Amino acid sequence: MIQKTSTSAKTHPSVSYRSYPSFSTQSVHAGEPHVNPYHSVPTPIVQSATYTFPNTDALIHFMEARETLPPSFREYGRYGNPTVRVAEEKLAALERGEDALLFSSGMAAITLTLMTLLQPGDHLILTLDTYRRTRAFCMTFLRRWGVDVTVVNPAAYDDLEHAITPRTRYLFSETPTNPFLRVLDLERVVEIARQHHVRVIIDSTFATPYNLQPLTFGVDLVVHSVTKYLSGHNDLLAGVVIGNRETISLLREAQGTFGALVDPGAAYLIVRGLKTLALRVERQNANAWILAQYLEEHPKVRRVWYPGLPSHPDHDVAVRQMRGFGGVVSFEIAGTAEDARSFVDALTIPRLATSLGGVESLVTIPAIMSYYDASPEEKKAAGITDQLVRLSAGIEDVDDLLADVEQALAVVRG
């Protein structure tokens, strides 16, 4: 039987990390004026597609000063919105970036960024253990447009350096990666990239800025699926790119053409979700770490991938550069594909769904969801087995989660 456990008494192990003050305070207040319009406490939703001018002189003055005005001051909704701008400034502050740009989804953020920054003849290095749709975009659309793409193992730093050519412009990777939670040594990656004048883009969705801030290691751009931890409630789609003002300004100009926007209502929900980011992620870190320890000791679990465990290949790197180890645990059920499905079907708290990072625990079997239409060769190359399960811990009581996992494992034949 599982002994009762308290999240306050048993949390993730002590880790060394780059400490920044007042993360929770910034989550609540960054990007927002001390006094809002109409004296409202929360940021108002400015639900407008266009903006008026009192006369033609004011319009001409605006057009003359347009390039120097902040993005919240625009004449048309495709170029900026005050509510969206508050969310962007808050996200930039949390990632220690100069500026941020919100998109209609995480994939919109990735695709538009790469299309804007790369041109025919350029070379992109992509790590293997990244989101499947990201790889698909790079291997099909980018190659169709004349961009060469090389895929390397995320932990093979020598291979990464050998893959660099005089045409290499960017390295794109996730950390932690999906679904095996590989953690890149960002200092080492950035050092290699700088030696060869290559820029680095990191998808840090699984980490969140609470656990890791890649820009402080010299990374050039950070991408998030805001859909996940940052909004935190499984109720919206959005993405963000964060970095220096010059690059974000270039991307903002491209976005005005492509139109992959976040609407003001979604931006309001993002701002609201960010206010509890630290509280939520602390709980999810603790829940996932406790679940990972339990699963690793269970005889019906073949293997567990979680950076907080010493058995994870990147544990030392994670301890060195992350505040916490995240809310996702991946593991293989000992047995058959039917055993893995029986386990998932027996769970009563985690819901069977794609995505992650929300307050509700979610569970998925990648082989029959995100890799359902993949060939056996593609699954093998990505390490996806029929027994692999990915569990995203929510903020439920960890004792309830443990009891649920225990009873679900009891149905596994092993």
Catalytic residues: 78, 131, 203, 228
344 in Cβ contact with 361 (< 8 Å): no
**What distances in angstroms separate CA 287 from CA 277, 284, 361, 393, 396, one per listed residue?**
15, 5, 10, 6, 8
Phi, psi of 145 (to 5 degrees): -95, 15
In what side-by-side order are the strands of the sheet with 388-392? Answer: 301-305, 328-333, 388-392, 362-364, 351-352
DSSP state letters, 202-270: EE-TTTHHHH--GGGGT-SEEEEETTTTTT-SS----EEEEE-HHHHHHHHHHHHHH--PPPHHHHHHH
Cis, bond preceding 179 (omega within 30 deg of 0): yes
Distance CA 373, CA 379 (A): 10
Q: Burial letters for 373-386: b for 16+ Cβ neighbours within 10 Å, e otherwise? A: ebeeeebeebebbb
Give the three-class secondary structure for 295: helix
| Strand-pair partners of 99 | 243
Which residue is it, tokens 């406490």?
Answer: 41
Residue 155 contacts residue 165 (beta carbons within 8 Å): no
Instruction: Name the token pair of 266.
Output: 């979604």
Tell me the one-letter amino acid at 15.
V
Alpha helices (H) along 118-218: 132-136, 143-144, 157-163, 186-195, 208-211
Residue 14 DSSP one-character state: P
> How many C-alpha atoms does 384 have within 13 Å on its Cβ side?
26
Distance CA 324, CA 319 (A): 8
What is the sign, positive or negative, of the torsion defined by CA atoms of 6, 9, 13, 14?
positive
Question: How large is the angle between the packed helices 398-410 and 337-346, nearest 10 degrees?
Answer: 140
